Amino acid sequence: MKVTLVNQTHKYGCSIACAAMVLNEEYDDLIKEFGNNFHKGGIDEETLVDFISDRGYSIIEKKVTVYSKKEFGREELLKPFAPIHIVRVRATADASLQHWVVMDKKGKLICPMEWTDKEVRESYRIMRTVGIYKD
């Protein structure tokens, strides 16, 4: 599955931009499906996963539930296991926002805010990887 970068145009639009990349749909069309003001707040991770699965995709998730060091699970969560993935990261320890990026089947990270692959990999914490499969 080839992934084309979709930039977020709202402060809290990373989840929608990632969904647009995964679903190969337009960001502005997907934004309209939500009642949110994405300049003031985003959607939670369960809503994102449900939104993608409602479009006919199956999901396998990996996440770190308990950790003693920020590096715990990083390598495993950045190891591709599906045709396409969405990865949740926290940029810094004091970041109030979490951020979503897309990872392709080869492990390339594509960020809707155009962080580099290195910046994503070196984020304070990699929190969750959602593997996405087309039924």
Averaged pLDDT, 127-134: 95
The radius of gyration computed from the CA coordinates of the chain, to the nearest angstrom, equals 14
Task: For 59-102, write each residue's pLDDT tens digit.
Answer: 999 998 877 777 888 999 999 999 999 999 988 777 777 899 99
Number of domains in the chain: 1
Residues with Cβ < 8 Å from 65, sequence gap 6 or more? none
- State in Å, rounded, how far the first CA of the chain is from the last one: 14
Please check whether residue 126 lies inside any domain of the structure.
yes
Instruction: Classify residue 90: in a domain, yes or no.
Output: yes
Residue 5 lies in a domain: no
Q: Percent helix, strand, coil in the chain (nearest 5)?
A: 25, 25, 50
CATH number of the domain where residue 54 is located: 3.90.70
φ/ψ of residue 97, rounded to 5 = -105, 145
Domain extent at residue 117:
14-134
Does residue 3 sit within a domain? no
Asked, for residue 88, whether it belongs to a domain, the answer is yes
Confidence (pTM): 0.92
